[in-house]
Amino acid sequence: MASGESFWANPSKAQLVLKEKAEIDRVIKNWSRLSEDLSDARILLELAVSEQDDGVLNEVEESLCELRSRVRSIEIQRMLSEEGDSLSAVLEIHSGAGGTDAADWADMLKRMYLRWADRNGYKSALIDEQVGEEAGIGHCTLEIDGPFAYGYLKGESGVHRLVRISPFDANARRHTAFASVAVYPAIDDDIVVDISDSDLRIDTFRSSGAGGQHVNTTDSAVRITHIPTNTVVVCRSERSQHKNKSTAMKLLRAKLYQAELEKRRAEANEAHAEKKRIEWGSQIRSYVLHPYRLVKDLRTGMDTGDVDRFLDGDLNAFMEAYLVMRAAP
């Protein structure tokens, strides 16, 4: 098979097949190891019962808890089977209604997702950022690099609402602020997105900086507009215009690929498409810091009072609940 000459006649296709094979081998290996460990636990349980050994029983209980966690992890991986789920992710955050509080809220969300990436062993990079006039950010673009980053993060797309006592209000009144999150799969070279040069408008401009030696004195920032879809991407993170253009094209391919995925899903299932439209176009989660403390997902109904831990990137339980909801018939 892989050793045959005909297999490598098309190198790109061959690499894709090997990638799929490696994933299947990984799943089989995980299930085999799980089955073996479950058999060992059963034998240990029989021994503990026959010997009436409480110490061994405690060991079996710990083993079963660990096995239960592994089964849950495998079940979640099984749910990440849609096209693009296994890819890295591009995440955009935009401040919305709420003025300076909204800009600060967008910055808090940026930190939250960077902490989530760090907790889960993903690499992250700030691709683009527009600093707010008084505080926070107007928008930013992050790249979260690692297997299944998009699969986990895709449920974060939507409007996020914050309620708190505003640190920017001299009268210490309660304010509501909004920010939107959009997530796209960071496609690799195996996925072809056809983009014609004639469909692109490329603008360069001077990137703003923090001042002093950090001010960019060349027109290195790049904005690319895909004219047929009016899709706009910006990159200003590098001093090199060439690097910024390359990254901007990568972002554009990701956005157009995401749009194609949504189109296919809509055509395949109109009911599902309507559900997606509502979720992505309205508030998905509420973060209340005053008069009580609660994070509540309005789609799954899941909530937590440990707001600080959540904002520090402990999001997996909410992400998994969303995946389970989507997988439900």
pLDDT computed for residue 182 by the predictor: 92
Query: What does CATH list as the number for 197-257?
Result: 3.30.160.20
Q: Is 1 exposed, middle or buried (0-12, 13-18, 19+ CB in 10 A)?
A: exposed
Instruction: Give the per-residue pLDDT at 194.
Output: 74
- Measure the CA–CA gap between 295 and 303, rounded to whole angstroms: 5
Side-chain-side CA neighbours of 163 within 13 Å: the count stands at 11
Which segments in the chain show pLDDT lower than 50?
Answer: 210-217, 270-281
What pLDDT does residue 277 have? Answer: 37
Q: Is 1 helix (H, G, I), strand (E, B) or coil?
A: coil
E strand map for the chain: 88-95, 123-131, 137-145, 158-165, 174-186, 200-205, 221-226, 231-235, 283-288, 294-297, 303-304
Give helix 54-79 / helix 316-327 axis angle, nearest 10°. Answer: 60
pTM over 0.85: no
Q: What is the reported pLDDT for 4? A: 62
Amino acid identity of residue 63, one-letter, is S
* pLDDT value, residue 218: 60
176 phi, psi to nearest 5 deg = -115, 135
- Tell me which architecture the domain covering 92-186+262-327 has in CATH: 2-Layer Sandwich (3.30)
What is the pLDDT at residue 274? Answer: 36
What are the pLDDT digits (tens) for 57-86?
Answer: 888 888 888 888 778 777 887 788 887 888
- The token pair that represents 216 in the structure block: 């960019």
